[in-house]
A and B are shown apart, each in its own frame.
Chain A
Amino acid sequence: MAFSRIEMILLLGLSAFVLRVLPQMFLVANSFPESWDRLLRYLSYALLCGLISITLFMTGARFEAESAPYRGIALAVTIVIAYKTKSPVTGMLVGVALVLTFTSLR
C-alpha cells in the first residue's frame, strides 16, 4: 500500500502521540512500586544520555572523530561546572564558550 508524504507524516505523528498519551491514559491513577519507579527513571535518563551522545558525536552512522575530542572536553567541563555550581545553564554557557574557543583555535 502506497502512502503519500503527508499521510506518512500523519501516521508518524499518530504513532508518536500514542506513545506519549498511553501512559497518561492508564498510569495516572497508579503510583508505581519504588523499584518500578526507579526502572522508569533509569530508562528515561539512559535514553537522554544516549541522545546527548549521538547528538554530539555522531552524524547518522558516522562517528565525528575530528571534532569528538574537543566536544568531549567541553562536555566534561560542562558536567563538572554544572555539578559544582548546581546550575545547568552556567555549565552549558561555559561549554559553549569552550567549543567556540576550540573552534577558533583549529
Chain B
Amino acid sequence: MSFAQRFRQGMNAAIPIWIAFVPSSLAWGIAAQAHGLTLDEIILMSAWVYSGPAQFAVLAPLAEGSSAATVLLAGFLMNLRFLPMSAALAPFFRGAKRLPLLMASHVVSASSFIVPYLQFQKERGASGGGSVADGNGNLGFFVGVGATSFFVWVLGSVAGYGVALSFPLGLEEALKFILPGYFAGLLVAEMKDLTMPLICIASMLMAIPGAMFNPGWGWLATAAMIAIIGWRLERWLSRA
C-alpha cells in the first residue's frame, strides 16, 4: 500500500484522538493564558515541546520564574516516556526514508505511539509474525495519526488562548475522561497474556503514591520499576 493510502488510514484511526485532544489542548491554552504566557510562547510550546503532561507540569515553574534547571528537569523527566515509546516503534520503520522519519519522530506522543503500535502489531500478527519491512507504509500510517493530531493540539492551544472558556462542571468532568478513557480502552482491547494486565493494573495503582511522593517523576519511576519487575519475573518464570 502506498504512503498516501497508509496516511489516510492513519488519519481515520486518529479521529478519536482529535476528539480527545480538543478539550485537552483548549484547557492547556486557557491555563497557559491564566499563567501569563504570551500567544507566541503558547504556540511555540505546543508545537515544539508537544507534550501535554510536560507542558502542564512546567507551566507553574515557568510562569513563576523558577530556575531553568527546575523547569528543564521537570520537563525532561515527564518526556522520558518518549524514549521507550519511540524505541518500540523504531523496528517497524525499517526501510523508511531517513529524513522524513527523523522529522516525523517529533510527533511521537502517547497517542501517536499507541494507535500505530497496536496497528503494526496486529498487521505483524496477521502476516504470521514475519515481515515488518514496509517501513515507508508504516511511516505513512504513523504520520497520518501523529501529524494530524499534532495540528489539532496546536490549533486547540491557540483557541484556548483566544477563548477563555469556562466549561460547566459536569461537561469539564466528561472532557477530562475522554483521553484516559480512550487509552484504557485501546490497551484493554488488545490484551492477550497475563503479564500485561498485571503490569498495567500495578502501574495504575502505584502511579498515585508515586505522584504524591513527587508529581514530576514519581509516577514515571514507579511505572518503569513495575515494568522491569514484571519483565524479570516473566523471564524467571519462563526459565523455571
Supposing A16-B49, A74-B177, A91-B181 touch, asked if A43 and B224 sit within 8 A by C-beta, the answer is: yes
Supposing A21-B102, A25-B102, A40-B87 touch, asked if A46 and B181 sit within 8 A by C-beta, the answer is: no
B114 within 8 A of A: yes
User: Judging by beta carbons under 8 Å apart, are B101 and A28 in contact?
Assistant: yes
Q: What's the nearest-Cβ distance from chain A to residue B100, in Å?
A: 10
B residues 195-240 in Cβ contact with A at 8 Å = 195-196, 199-208, 210-212, 214-215, 219-220, 222-224, 226-228, 230-231, 234-235
Number of interface residues of B (CB under 8 A): 95
B8 within 8 A of A: no
User: Judging by beta carbons under 8 Å apart, are A39 and B231 in contact?
Assistant: yes
Q: What's the nearest-Cβ distance from chain A to residue B59, in Å?
A: 11
A residues within 8 A CB of B220? 47, 50
Supposing A40-B87, A75-B180, A79-B188 touch, asked if A16 and B219 sit within 8 A by C-beta, the answer is: no
B105 within 8 A of A: yes
B residues within 8 A CB of A63? 208, 212
User: Judging by beta carbons under 8 Å apart, are A50 and B84 in contact?
Assistant: no
Supposing A8-B72, A49-B207, A51-B110 touch, asked if A44 and B84 sit within 8 A by C-beta, the answer is: yes
User: Judging by beta carbons under 8 Å apart, are B72 and A49 in contact?
Assistant: no
Please give 6 more A-B residue pairs, beta carbons under 8 A apart, in addition to A28-B96, A47-B220: A15-B76, A22-B86, A47-B81, A49-B199, A83-B188, A91-B181
Using a CB–CB distance below 8 Å, which chain B residues touch chain A?
16, 37, 40-41, 44-45, 48-51, 53-54, 58, 62, 68, 71-72, 75-76, 79-91, 93-94, 96, 101-102, 105-106, 108, 110, 113-114, 117, 132, 135, 169-171, 173-174, 176-189, 191, 195-196, 199-208, 210-212, 214-215, 219-220, 222-224, 226-228, 230-231, 234-235
